[in-house]
Structure 1
């Protein structure tokens, strides 16, 4: 690939380097990698009564490394389009070394795939490897050239499948070497909450997205309509869980997910009040991460119980 430099326009805000590095690394975001593995394993435990902790631990570490690759490579690809020129916490902007970030990301990918290869070797089954490679392909197509499907507003759809049905099925399969309806239904719920994080990340960067030609859902809908859609997206998580319990697909303990209502309500109220104020709404993706984390933990707990 050709790495063409795009000038970085510094922001006037005085932010400490430590805070910029923490924002660039995004530690809370790595729950996105862990949760599909935890949920698929929790459903497997509910149905089989056992967990292979070696496979679980290896899978979690591999998932974290693969997500690190995606985050690093996205910074590289975004730096080529100029969409991150006003983003001081971009790793490319912080280091000034695009090639370094690119190759660190690739190293994370290779190491992560090595973990998945180990699981496939232990089980003498390449199914998980094929699924994770497909997830990686979708992750690349999100921002990588020549696809850049995220710029067409398809990022949330790719995110839904990668971190929902595909990843949860892979985690469930790694424990059981089969599939289940319950794991598929659970993956839909997790896919929604994961996609919400990406959806919310667009509210504060409409101008930058437009300047770079990125047609994100918020660019297409507008911030007001996006804010009006948010309660329906959050509400679908609870409605689906209730429906699956009523149909006997989920154990009644999964209704614990209603304990994640506070961050969901906080998210919807915050975005509704500040949807057109970039400085104030920029933190909404972290509220979405909180909703994703607590709804996922409580759903996992429901299956384990």
Structure 2
């Protein structure tokens, strides 16, 4: 094999480890938070861009950490039906994946220094906790994903925190002085929290599909995800409830919070969501659920674009 072919193979392996197909979970909250900021007249482009860079780095760092720790803890085996994991398959050494995890999280913290300048101490705390939990999802003495807390982690950090944080740094840029030690007035609003719920629900739904697919192998490896604890039926009910949350919130924003009817634009994705749900409710194999996993990620991305667009329209 030529050196060029080896290099291409390693590049593909690193892309597999980074799992770019999961980046909608990083982009969606920034898109929605920015759409709401534009609606509220506090849009600030540079904080929005830096929020996305930071969120993407945390997502990739978490993916690297999952790849490494699931392999060394024995959760990833040859029986796994999911996408190829580079540590378990031997494509990249465990030491290199662990080092990449540390570097990526370090870059996320470095990127966050600008956001700390803009948003002050609240963003410093949120950023450090986010990085720590990204590592603790599968690492550390009490890995969250191994004890049924993964769904809660995703709901909070890739939904509530990510959307409200994106809105916060833009609002703080417009409404407050740099390096604030408290939460400035008008930077964390009821509307921002409400807008975060659909993203939280759909981001968590991605994880539910992943865990439903891996229920049998995770149980055998002692990885007690929420899907392992709940079983197939309750996990599918969770998936349905998370999707329902995403479609209830725009209706509430329209009827109960004074937003215009354009906020209902995400409802155009409802037939696509129903199609994916049908697969999740009837299949447990990787041949069906791997596509459903990617489709839920696409649903999140399209929903976020529609939601943000509906918020921006006067």
TM-score range, shorter chain: 0.7 to 0.9
Preserved CA contact (<8 Å) 2:61 2:134:
no
**How many pairs does the alignment contain?**
287
Q: C-alpha separation between the residues in 2 aligned to 1:154 and 1:234? A: 19
- Whether 1:271 and 2:271 are equivalent positions in the alignment is no
Deviations 1:97-137 (A, max 9, x none): 1111111121111112111102223x372322221212222
Residue aligning to 1:241: 250
Alpha-carbon distance change, 112 to 51 in structure 1, aligned in 2, over 3 angstroms: same
Match of 1:11 in 2: none
Equivalent runs, 1:84-233 vs 2, <5 Å: 84-86=76-78, 87=80, 89-92=84-87, 93-121=89-117, 123=118, 125-177=120-172, 178-233=187-242
- Kept after mapping to 1: 8 A contact 2:195/2:249: no
What are structure 2's unaligned runs of at least 5 residues? Answer: 1-8, 173-186
**How far off its partner does 1:65 sit?**
1.4
Per-residue Cα deviation, 1:54-93 (whole angstroms, up to 9, x for no partner) = 2222221222112111110111111121111225711213
1:13-28 to structure 2, matched below 5 A, reads 23-28=16-21
Structure 1 counterpart of 2:183: none
Structure 2 partner of 1:292: 300
Q: Is the 8 A contact 1:201 1:284 kept in 2?
A: no
Residues 299 and 105 of structure 1: CA distance in aligned 2, closer, same or farther (over 3 Å): same
Per-residue CA deviations over 1:267-304 (Å, capped at 9, x if unaligned) read 111122323x3433233211211121111111111111
Aligned match of 1:68: 60
Where do 5+ consecutive residues of structure 1 fail to align?
1-15
- TM-score for both structures, normalised by structure 1: 0.86
Shift of 1:22: 5.4
Runs of 4+ in 1 over 4 A off after TM superposition: 16-23
Separation in structure 2 between the aligned mates of residue 124 and residue 198 of structure 1, nearest angstrom: 30
Task: Give, in whole Å, the separation in 2 of the partners of 1:40 and 1:228.
Answer: 28
Contact 1:244 1:250 in 2 (8 A): yes
2 CA distance for matches of 1:233 and 1:66?
23
* Corresponding residue for residue 27 of structure 2: 34
* Paired residues of 1:193 and 1:234 also in contact (CA < 8 A): yes
RMSD between aligned residues: 2.2
Take 2:238 and 2:116, find their aligned partners in 1: how far apart are those partners?
Answer: 41
Verify: 1:260 aligned to 2:269, yes or no: yes
Contact 2:262 2:310 in 1 (8 A): yes
Q: Are 1:263 and 1:290, in contact at CA under 8 Å, matched by a contact in 2? A: no
Return the TM-score normalized by structure 2: 0.84
Does structure 1 retain, via aligned residues, the 8 Å contact 2:35–2:312? Answer: yes
Tell me which moved more, 110-119 or 133-142.
133-142
Greater RCO (Cα-Cα under 8 Å, separation 6 or more): 2
Compared with structure 1, are the counterparts of its residues 19 and 107 closer, same or farther at alpha carbon in structure 2 (3 Å cutoff)?
A: closer
